[in-house]
Amino acid sequence: MTNLFKAWLAYQTAVVDGWTGMWRLGLCSWERYAALQMELLNGGAPPRRQGDRCPSGASFTDGYGRRVHDIDPERDV
């Protein structure tokens, strides 16, 4: 004769595992939907850089190779 208590316990464990998996999947998809909705409401485009990217002069904070406005004495004389 089978043990009904163990069978019933295994059945309930399987039901609870399936139920929690269903809720986990539902909440993950809802979280993804909310993130996509916020991305859409924020414009969908990546944020743009603020401020002037042109260098203001020869300094250590200006990016090397971006000094297009510097004076070249051999060329500009």
The residue ranges of every structural domain in the chain are 4-76
Is residue 62 within 8 Å of residue 55, measured between CB atoms? Answer: yes
pLDDT confidence of residue 77: 58
Residue 70 sits at the vertex; the CA angle it makes with 49 and 50, to the nearest 5 degrees, is: 10
Whole-number pLDDT of residue 76 = 62
Per-residue pLDDT at 68: 57
Q: Tell me the per-residue pLDDT of 22-76, one tens digit each, with 9 for 90 and over.
A: 999 999 999 999 998 988 888 766 666 665 566 566 666 655 555 556 666 676 6
Question: What confidence score (pLDDT) does residue 40 get?
Answer: 85
